[in-house]
Structure 1
Amino acid sequence: MNKPSFLFILNPNSGTSIGRNTGEVKKTIDSFAKKFGAEVTMLFTEERAHATTLVRENLDLQPWKAIVAVGGDGTVNEIAQPLVNTEQPIGIIPLGSGNGLARHLGIPLTLEASLTRLFEGKITTIDSAQINDIPFFCTAGMGFDAYVGHLFSQQSQRGLATYVNVSFQSYWNYKPQRFKLNGVETDAFSLSFANAGQFGNNAWVAPQASLQDGLLDVCTIKPFPKWYGTSLAYQLFTKQMKASRYIDYQHMTEAVVETQVPPMIHYDGEPFQLDTTRIEVKIKPQSLRVIV
């Protein structure tokens, strides 16, 4: 009987120390593969978007039980992109700084426990989405979150502490922007499109979001007095965000956003400067198979 084959793609620059400790990670993966009777091929990324190239080059070489993302939400995004609307499942070993999709799916956050889940888990099918034809699987958006994501990407240290520090420093100078969402003008602190419920690090922007309902939860945070920021952060990290005077939720299958200038966006935490003022967002129901 042939052993099941797994293709592991590891980002040595992902957000935690264990993510960079490739030797120990490889040793542990090999050990668990032997324990569960699996064959492992391991590849390493060298730059942004390299994981997508590696998947495309290796996807059809053999029938993989799973192509496994070892890293954070950015790595998951790059590996999942070519797998949308295919039968090939993705596995997730969440060694990044935020791990939003893994957290939403209930995948353990330690290397050993997530490997056990990978080899013992079942396949489920989830929705994915697109923002101007860029796939995302967790959240995307613009406004404050994209601004912080841009600054965070420039830091030498990753992790929650750095993210909180960057967010706090940015908060005092950030000015809300004007958006037109499906033809309706609004000033917004941030505009988020949630497929999964959180950005990562258990920051739940859309606690009611489902990965399998065929809908995006669109969260508009309206301009608010500075004192409200503490309450907003508390709601975000205690999974208590809900519609209020400053927070609006809508469910959509697609949306069009028009801006005054080309905005900075983020998709699964990765910042990206658009060159257009028209942003189209849409859901792709039941389009990605995941081992959970």
Structure 2
Amino acid sequence: MKTNLHFIVNPIAGKGKNELSTDMLEAYFPKSEFVISIKKTEFVLHATALTKASIEEGAQIIVACGGDGTINEVASCLVNTSVFLGILPMGSGNGLASNLKIPKNFKKALSIIKNQNTIAIDTATINGKPFFSNVGVGFDAHVISDFEENTTRRLFSYVKSTLRTLKKYHYKNVVELKYNGTTELISPFLLFVSNSNEMGYKMSLTPRASLQDGLLDVVIVPELSRFKLMLFTMLFLFKKHHWLKEVRFQQLRALEIKGLDNTILKVQKDGGLFTLKEPNIEIAIHPKNLTVCVKK
């Protein structure tokens, strides 16, 4: 029986030159073994609609071809299903793919999909919406907001967005944080909740996080002085931010965040802005409910 294999391609991800053809793919996936379908996204959330259609069409493997945003849209539809997620990293950061050791090399990534070696990974939700890598409240969400205004999505663009945000960032919101039966009020510079050990571009706030441990890794950074803010940034670049005593780490299965005075907080989800409709945020882990093609 032939494997029904669908590719959801974001043509403008990363460098914006992402092209797949049936002839190209049939060199790796012979007609005798695979039925191939290629679908290209044309607008935001189109990958979601295309993935749902592919599921209805009986796809057994659906390959997200793009960055973390495209992967989020495709994978969100595959949670708690028997359909395998394949990944062709074509984005700028490619955090989840890197965490799963899926290379950017086209041939090697296709080989992983063809072999159909899979693992089950944890996923998480924020207010019921799936995410796979991380969610952030505070500084990183403001960086993403600046980054999304750029027409180019490269590492240098991300660095420039970070520097611009550092200059103008004055985060004074107080949030109520609830976890493990405790409640605290904090004014965080950064509140970062991660399921994976990489944010993209080989950068990480949670290098010990695992996609299979059933836990969220949480980093809490309080409001910092200008000097300590610069120090934190430098330490982060060398993955030594844990040296700063103000930085706290937690491993949790769930937590609640609420902006006081009904403040609607700015949030990023898997590297894209996530629009909240209310001040309450509920985040939870869901163990091993997504099947992904990975290297043996």
TM-score using structure 1 length: 0.92
Match of 1:42 in 2: 38
Alpha-carbon distance, 1:229 to partner: 4.2
Structure 2 CA distance for aligned equivalents of residues 178 and 34 of structure 1: 57
Per-residue CA distance 1:47-104 (angstroms, 9 max, x = gap): 111111111112032252x100000000000001111111111000010011110011
**Any conservation in 2 of the 1:204–1:241 contact (CA below 8 Å)?**
no
1:102 aligns with 2:83: no
Q: How far has the Cα of 1:237 moved from its partner?
A: 3.7
Q: Which amino acid aligns with 2:175?
A: F
How far apart in 1 are the matches of 2:26 and 2:15?
Answer: 20
What amino acid maps onto 1:105 in structure 2?
L
**Equivalence for 1:274:** 276
Alignment size in residue pairs = 287
In the TM superposition, residue 230 of structure 1 has moved relative to its aligned partner by: 4.6
d(CA) in 1 for partners of 2:210, 2:201: 18
Q: 2:19 is matched with which residue?
A: 22
Normalised by the length of structure 2, the TM-score is: 0.91
Query: 2-side partners of 1:234 and 1:33: how far apart?
Result: 45
Partner of 1:11: 10
1:216 Cα deviation after fit: 0.4
2: distance between equivalents of 1:236 and 1:36?
A: 50
Q: Secondary structure at the match of 2:150?
A: coil
Structure 1 gap segments, 5+ residues each: none
Show the 5 A alignment for 1:1-292: 2-17=1-16, 20-22=17-19, 28-34=24-30, 37-64=33-60, 66-176=61-171, 177-182=173-178, 183-242=183-242, 244-260=244-260, 261-292=263-294
For 1:227, what is the secondary structure of its paired residue? helix
Give the deviation of 1:264 after TM superposition: 1.3
The alpha carbon displacement at 1:110 in A equals 2.0
Q: Is the 8 A contact 1:206 1:241 kept in 2?
A: no
Q: Could you tell which deviates more after superposition, 271-280 or 231-240?
A: 231-240
Letter in 2 for 1:15: G
Deviation of the 1:236 alpha carbon? 3.0
Aligned equivalents of 1:27, 1:181: Cα separation in 2: 53
Measured on the aligned residues, the alpha-carbon RMSD in Å equals: 2.0
2: CA distance between counterparts of 1:190 and 1:154?
21
Q: How far 1:246 moved relative to its partner?
A: 2.3
Query: Deviation at 1:202?
Result: 1.2
Query: Given that residues 122 and 289 in structure 2 are in contact (C-alpha distance below 8 angstroms), is that contact kept between their aligned partners in structure 1?
Result: yes
CA distance in structure 2 between the aligned counterparts of 1:44 and 1:145, rounded to whole angstroms: 29
> Judging changes above 3 Å, is the alpha-carbon distance between structure 1 residues 121 and 268 closer, same or farther for their aligned structure 2 residues?
same
Counterpart-to-counterpart distance in 1, 2:190 and 2:22: 39
Distance 2:97 2:29 in 1: 20
Deviation at 1:151, TM superposition (A): 1.5
